[in-house]
Amino acid sequence: MTDREKFPAVINQKIAVHTGQRGSLVMRGLAAVQENTLAKTDDALYRQARDAYNRIIDYQIKHSVDELWPTGDAELKAALEAFQRLANNNYGKAYYPLTVLYLRSNDDANGKNRAQHFAQLAIEWCLANQANQDVELWSDLGNMYQFGHGVEKNYLRAKYWFRKAAEQGHAHAQFNLGLMYDEGQGVPQDYEAAVEWYRKAAEQGYAHAQFSLGVMYDDGRGVPQDYGAVAEWYRKAAEQGFVAAQFNLGLMYDEGQGVPQDYEAAAEWFRKAAEQGIANAQYSLGFMYYQGQGVPQDYEAAAEWFRKAAEQGHADAQCNLGLMYKKGQGVPQDYEAAVEWFYKAVNQGDDTAQYNLGNMYRQGQGVPQDYEAAAEWFRKAAEQGYAAAQYNLGMMYLHGLCVPQDYEAAVEWFRKAAEQGDDDAQDYLGFMYE
C-alpha cells in the first residue's frame, strides 16, 4: 500500500453544498481523481521496478556473483531510476530496494551514505505501515532486522517478520525462515524445521530453496540422507540456472551418486557452471578434457579451462596448468611458466605443487638446479602426506643429497609412503630390511 492509498481523498456525501462552494468542491474532486491516477501509476511503476530488482537479486544469488552492478546493466539502472522517482514522490515501498541498491553500488562513499538515508526511511515507513496486509513489506522488514539495515540487527524480530510473511506463502520469506532454523539465527537450530520451510519455498519454484533442500538431503540433516532426492532438487535448481546446483549435479553424474554415472552429462553441467565463471566447474571441465571423459580428449581445451580457473586462484588448476607447461601439453613447453604456476599454487599450500616444484629444483628446470631447495619442497609436501614426496625425501636421506645421510630417516619416510601404497617405497623398504 502507498501513503496515498492509506489516506485516500474522499468526498463526504452528507455535506450540503452551497452555490459559493461549488467551484472549490469541483476542484477538490478533480484533485482526488488526479491523485488516485498518480497512485495507480506509481503502483505500476513500483511493481515493474520491483520485479526487475527481484530478478537481478535472484540472478546474483543463482550465479554466485558478488558484484551487484555489472557494467552496462540497463535494467538495473532503470530500476534504480524508477525507485528514486518513486521515493521523490514519498512512495514508501521504494525505500528498501534503494537501500540495497545503493549499499551494493560501486560508489563506495556516496552509495553508503545514500543507503543509510534510505534504510532509515525504509524502517520508519515499514513499521508505520506494518498493519497493511502486505507480505512483501513484512519480508523487507525481516531483511532489515536480519542485516541491520536502518536498525540494529535483531534475529528474533527478523524471524517474526519472516514467519508472518512465510505463513502467507511468501517464498522468499519461507526460504529465509528456513535459513534461520538451519543456522540457528534467532531460533534454536532445528534442521527439521529448516527442511519444512525450505520445502515450502522449493515447491513454489524458489531456486535457492531447491538447492538448499538438496544440500539437506545430501548431508542427511533434518531428513534421511537420500542421493536420489539430492539429484532431484539440484536438478530443479540447476534448470533455473542456479550455478552451485549445476556444478553439484555435474559432480553427481561424474561420481554416479544418486544418478547413473554419465560423464557426458557431467561435462554438460560442468560447462553450464564453468561458462558462468565458477572456478571449480572450470577446473572440473578442464580435467574432463584432459582425461577425455565425456568429451574428446583435448589438451588445448584442458589448458584453456585450467587457465580460467587458475586465474581465479584455484590451486589445483594452477598446479595442473604448471604441469601442462612442463610437459608441453596443449601449450608450448615452458619450464619458467611451469615454475610460475607451481609457485602460485604452493602459496596456497598445495602439496602436489610443492612436490612438483621440488622436482623442478632437483632437475634444474625453469630454475637453477638446487638440491637443498628440492629437499625443502619435498619435505613440505611430505609433511602434508604426499606419498611421492615422502619417497623422494627418503631417497635424499638414503643417499645424503643435501641432507645428512640418515638411514633411519630414510626408512621413516619410505614407510610413510609405503603405507599409502607407493610401490617404489615398498621395494626400497624391503631392500633396507634385508
* pLDDT 10s digits, 417-433: 999 998 988 888 777 76
Per residue in 31-84, pLDDT (tens digit) is: 443 445 545 688 999 999 999 888 888 777 766 655 555 544 677 888 889 999
Per residue in 7-23, pLDDT (tens digit) is: 223 323 322 333 333 34
Per residue in 333-386, pLDDT (tens digit) is: 999 999 999 999 999 999 999 999 999 999 999 999 999 999 999 999 999 999
| pLDDT over 70, % of the chain | 87
pLDDT of residue 55: 83
pLDDT of residue 106: 66
Task: Check if the beta carbon of residue 261 is closer than 8 Å to that of residue 283.
Answer: no
| pLDDT over 90, % of the chain | 75
Chain-centroid distance, C-alpha 223: 24
pLDDT at residue 295 above 60?
Answer: yes
Task: Check if the beta carbon of residue 312 is closer than 8 Å to that of residue 279.
Answer: yes
Per residue in 134-184, pLDDT (tens digit) is: 999 999 999 999 999 999 999 999 999 999 999 999 999 999 999 999 999
**402 vs 239, more confident:** 239
CA dist., res. 266 & res. 274, Å (int) = 12
Burial of residue 352 (CB within 10 Å: 0-12, 13-18, 19+) is: buried
pLDDT tier, 306 (very low <50, low <70, confident <90, very high otherwise): very high
Burial of residue 274 (CB within 10 Å: 0-12, 13-18, 19+) is: buried
pLDDT of residue 402: 81
CA dist., res. 271 & res. 250, Å (int) = 9
pLDDT of residue 77: 84
Query: Tell me, what DSSP letter sits at residue 314?
Result: -
Place of cell 537479486: 57
Query: Within the chain, how many helices (H) and strands (E) appear?
Result: 22, 0
CA dist., res. 211 & res. 416, Å (int) = 41
Q: How is residue 164 written as a grid cell? A: 508472518
pLDDT of residue 59: 73
Query: Tell me, what DSSP letter sits at residue 15?
Result: P
Task: Check if the beta carbon of residue 351 is closer than 8 Å to that of residue 386.
Answer: yes
Burial of residue 263 (CB within 10 Å: 0-12, 13-18, 19+) is: middle
Q: What number of other Cβ atoms are within 10 A of residue 334's Cβ? A: 16
pLDDT of residue 34: 43
Measured at the CA of 9, the angle between CA 6 and CA 14, to 5 degrees, comes to 125
Sequence length of the chain is 434
Question: What radius of gyration do the chain's Cα atoms show?
Answer: 31
- The residues, any chain, with a CB within 8 Å of residue 314's CB and separated by 6 or more, are 279, 280, 282, 283
Query: Residue 105 corresponds to which amino acid?
Result: S
CA dist., res. 363 & res. 237, Å (int) = 49
The gap between the terminal CA atoms of the chain, to the nearest Å, is 88
DSSP string spanning 372-411? HHHHHHHHHHHHTT-HHHHHHHHHHHHHTSSS---HHHHH
CA dist., res. 51 & res. 55, Å (int) = 6
CA dist., res. 217 & res. 233, Å (int) = 9
Task: Check if the beta carbon of residue 22 is closer than 8 Å to that of residue 34.
Answer: no
pLDDT at residue 185 above 70?
Answer: yes
Q: How is residue 177 written as a grid cell? A: 525462515
